[in-house]
A and B are shown apart, each in its own frame.
Chain A
């Protein structure tokens, strides 16, 4: 397929995944910030800003950090790259550009999401119903893609975008939480801290399945980094990325495939105790760099119009 088309599909997926992840993060922060936890309420509120790298931007436009402002900024801001509104707008533009490559049902899903979002804009719903709506639209999108799109390159580039974005988002979230945890010593705080993270990554039930009632920094890190049970874990994402790269037609992308394979091996053969010895925050920073590298290689091999 055309490089430009592959790029549009890839970024379409990344924006939609980003929107869903932002909604999940907002929700999780919201519930944790309501807990009686003293001074760290502010830290919890700021976490989504740190994850998305938008702290400076937020303070440029807002004078207070509270839930209303955070919601306005991360859900409705028209211009910055992490806002849900912006993500849906870019997604719809890209979908418009690749209409010939996605099915009618997929296009209608994205287009309807966009139309409904704009209708809501003048009097936005509360955060929780809004985040539910975002997740629902995301599930619908995924459903139409899985249900109606032929398993060719269009499908592969869409999925590739999803998992690159997911791996990146998950790693950022883990990173921020890890840095916070390093500065914490309160056991009860810990518990809510980790369940919030699991919730944001849709992994709470998966954790219960694997670890029963045991919950601590190690089990959470192991699940979300090294195990493939939870769909948003780093390992699950890398497994998908590797499979997809193998399925894309042609001989381009040798370096992207190599980088992705190496990263997967580290996760397959790593152990949580080794990672903790190195320091999880350090590991996660390195992971972020490498996954961005994989993204760059993908850009060069398939998507760049050079």
Chain B
């Protein structure tokens, strides 16, 4: 039996109440784990690595030598969520995404929330992600973020909090799907014993959502990728294949008489919906970055005409911006007249004088992030930083306070993970994927990311994070998909 390390004090461990006592949702799995030899676990892990490599589930890391590909480490101790807990999360997610979509519709039309004084005008209008070209455009079903990835963490109080919204090009769902496939291959017995909600139908739901985003009957859907050298290319190809739609690059598309076409072996074919895995800035060299080779010249005008749907819409970045994050609970109250079910992490906005003063005093206790940063870069983790690092950062934030927000160091929950010493707790988060079409659909669970280094809170794959399979247990009468 493997050495199992106890959970740290003051940290919520997903599996263990203490070293001998598993939580209810993990009871059966814990029994199984207790009876498996460590050697077998390690050989299973090796098998998984070989399989992942053979199948090519890799991602390219920017800045490494040309063509370098890496496997995202996969840990097979699952993160288990009870049916009741998931029900709660699901309802909270639906609510939050509905409010975000309502916000996006509002700021590109009447701007009622600004007029009501709830969100400052400059926060919206001066936001680099705000796309003036979207003002006054009517989108079918008023959906802007068709695909949303909402990052959740569980704090030591046992509650889930929203860490971040991702409304532009959220990624990671292919790892969720491949991890499940891998788990079923490595541990078929576990799936026989446990009633775990399936996730494999995600591509199906995604296609349905994309088709529902267009008023056209039987629309042609494509996935637009920047190409093979993009770090998430595997996912683009994977989803296109699973949905049975074409994977296109900008060069495959052209515009004629304000309609969008793709070049095929049987001649040009109309495109109705683009699931675009490109940032706004690269979509159209005539409208945005003129040096972009990845987009289609003239795409914006076809989009404004309503002759093509983009999922997600242009200009969603203003809503998942860290400076907008503190206002999301207000959005839920304003648009839905409801109290938020899922809460934000307490956040200080350094653009605010009072908040800046507080943060300046408490830098050593807080996590300070760039408003426009991504992937864990350019941030300060106070408690883990040296005095020099803190002082250096103090200088940086003074120069541009509006660029930063701060949050208390979260005590992210941990989940047992197979490491060199045995099975030890490592910090995790959760990214469920919320699909908005004629109805809102969420596949149970999502991607669990794990920080593989002991004590580390950084789960990003580009900085040494790994992933786990997420198990949402089935209740007897529970249906597989949610409608809210």
Contacts and interface: CB of A to CB of B under 8 A. Distances in A.
Interface of B is mostly: mixed
A145 B237 CA distance: 19
A1 B249 CA distance: 13
B54 A249 contact: no
A3 to B, nearest CB: 5
A249 B252 contact: no
Given A2-B246, A3-B252, A100-B237, A111 B264 contact: no
Interface string A83-102: 00000000001001101110
A197 B60 CA distance: 44
A101 B228 CA distance: 15
Nearest to A104: B55
A248 B241 contact: no
B240 A115 contact: no
B241 A100 contact: yes
Contacts, number: 63
A111 B248 CA distance: 22
Given A100-B247, A305-B251, A4 B263 contact: yes
A112 B54 contact: yes
A249 B265 contact: yes
A268 B266 CA distance: 30
Interface of A is mostly: helix
A279 to B, nearest CB: 39
A2 B56 contact: no
A108 interface: yes
Contacts of B267: 250, 252
Interface in A233-281: 248-252
Interface string A266-306: 00000000000000000000000000000000000011011
Nearest to B222: A2
Contacts of A226: none
Contacts of B248: 2
B241 A2 contact: no
B61 interface: no
The 4 closest A-B pairs by CB, nearest first: A250-B266, A100-B241, A302-B265, A3-B263
20 contacts: A1-B246, A1-B264, A2-B246, A2-B263, A2-B264, A4-B252, A5-B246, A6-B265, A97-B228, A107-B55, A108-B54, A111-B56, A112-B54, A115-B54, A248-B265, A249-B265, A251-B266, A252-B266, A303-B265, A305-B251
Given A2-B263, A96-B56, A153-B265, 17 more contacts: A2-B262, A3-B252, A3-B263, A3-B265, A97-B228, A100-B237, A100-B247, A107-B55, A111-B56, A115-B54, A157-B265, A248-B265, A249-B266, A303-B265, A305-B252, A305-B263, A306-B263
